[in-house]
């Protein structure tokens, strides 16, 4: 029996198919253990899936079984095992942050609850707080969520918050507890004197997702205060044009996760070198279809193209964190 063609599904859509096949209760028990943005992505994928055939369902289930059939519960309590699993799932930085918070024993319910609120509600809730407080709150959100929250602020506040976030070195635990109580009125004790909050890399990651040119406005405002800090942030930002440095194997891995129509939109205003990087890694038929799609595509707002590009950047960074690709162009680790 031939293998079913699953090429029309990206990774998120395959997961959505699997969850729908598991039934409501089982799917819900899995989703409640995921990050808010992951739940949103999967919910959107499930709502847009159409005409999934029996063969496609069989193929998704077969791939899942093949990937997990060697797994056991051996070593599940090993610290190194847990760290390795979380690093592969979340990326090294996020895994370290989560494990550090777990080791502190902090519940973080108040701040964590903000992850489940839409960006406009969070913006409205914290816009009148001190910029340093806002910076701490943004640090607890996913980068993309934080970017949407800060987009709801006035330009001057945007600059002030990012400046404080990039310059932050730490926040006393009693201040974190007090802030946590403001949002959830639940006291907790971390047992430590401070907690790492912010930094240049956090500021850069959030600015990567800020749209509509506001990222450059914020950087310009920071330059007026601290030119060196602006340069440090910019050095750690990753823009769509940087994808030209990814090697061919990495580009091919990315294209397995990127919907074709999304890539066509993103490439519409890209540099010729970036276009060639993607198109050159397609089959002749696929490349011809991509070029034709871009030629017949109606005029689009620059903001729409920017959204597509930033979604692809997010995919690239996720694959880089997993070790599948290297954003510096050296290629990801090889698996045998």
Cα radius of gyration (the chain): 21
Specify the CATH number of the domain 105-236. 1.10.220.30
Report residue 285 as tokens: 């038929």
Q: What is the pLDDT of residue 181?
A: 61
- With 0-12 / 13-18 / 19 or more C-beta atoms within 10 angstroms meaning exposed / middle / buried, residue 319 is buried
pTM check: above 0.75 = no
* CB crowding 28-67: b at 16 or more within 10 Å, else e: eeeeeeeeeeebbbbeebbeeeeebeeebeebbeeeeeee
Report residue 327 as tokens: 């954003």
| Helical axes 200-207 vs 227-236, angle rounded to 10° | 60
3-class DSSP state of 299? coil
Q: What is the pLDDT of residue 88?
A: 62
Pick the CATH number of 240-321 from 1.10.150.120, 1.10.220.30, 3.40.309.10, 1.10.10.10: 1.10.220.30
**Distance (Å, whole) CA 23 – CA 85:** 26
pLDDT by position in tens, the chain (length 336): 566 778 888 888 888 888 888 877 777 778 777 776 777 778 778 877 778 888 888 888 888 777 766 555 544 444 565 566 556 655 666 566 555 544 443 444 566 667 777 788 888 888 888 888 888 888 878 888 888 899 889 888 999 889 888 886 555 555 555 566 655 543 333 333 344 456 788 888 888 778 777 888 888 888 888 888 888 888 788 778 889 888 999 999 999 999 888 999 999 888 899 999 999 999 999 999 999 888 888 888 888 888 888 889 888 888 887 888 887 533 334 333
In the chain, where the domains are located: 11-68, 105-236, 240-321
Q: Do 105-236 and 240-321 come out as alike in CATH topology?
A: yes
């Amino acid at each position: 029996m031939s293998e079913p063609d699953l090429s029309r599904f990206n990774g998120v859509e395959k997961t959505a198919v699997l969850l729908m096949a598991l039934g409501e209760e089982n799917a819900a028990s899995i989703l409640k253990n995921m990050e808010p943005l992951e739940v949103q992505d999967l919910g959107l994928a499930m709502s847009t899936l159409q005409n999934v055939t029996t063969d496609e369902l069989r193929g998704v289930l077969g791939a899942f079984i093949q990937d997990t059939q060697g797994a056991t519960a051996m070593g599940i309590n090993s610290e190194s095992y847990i760290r390795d699993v979380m690093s592969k799932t979340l990326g090294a930085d996020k895994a370290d942050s989560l494990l550090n918070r777990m080791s502190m024993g902090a519940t973080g319910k108040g701040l964590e609850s903000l992850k489940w609120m839409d960006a406009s509600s969070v913006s409205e809730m914290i816009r009148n707080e001190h910029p340093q407080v806002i910076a701490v709150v943004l640090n607890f959100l996913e980068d993309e969520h934080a970017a949407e929250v800060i987009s709801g602020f006035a330009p001057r506040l945007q600059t002030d918050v990012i400046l404080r976030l990039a310059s932050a070195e730490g926040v006393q635990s009693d201040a974190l507890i007090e802030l946590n109580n403001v949002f959830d009125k639940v006291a907790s004790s971390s047992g430590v004197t401070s907690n790492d909050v912010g930094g240049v890399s956090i500021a850069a990651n959030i600015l990567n997702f800020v749209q509509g040119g506001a990222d450059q406005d914020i950087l310009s405002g920071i330059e007026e205060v601290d030119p060196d800090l602006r340069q440090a942030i910019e050095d750690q930002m990753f823009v769509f044009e940087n994808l030209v440095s990814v090697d061919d194997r990495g580009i091919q891995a990315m294209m397995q996760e990127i919907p074709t129509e999304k890539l066509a939109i993103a490439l519409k205003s890209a540099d010729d070198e970036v276009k060639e990087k993607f198109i050159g890694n397609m089959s002749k038929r696929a490349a011809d279809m991509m070029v034709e799609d871009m030629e017949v595509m109606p005029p689009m707002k620059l903001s729409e193209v920017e959204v597509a590009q930033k979604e692809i950047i997010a995919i690239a960074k996720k694959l880089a964190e997993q070790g599948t690709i290297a954003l510096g162009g050296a290629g990801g680790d090889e698996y045998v």
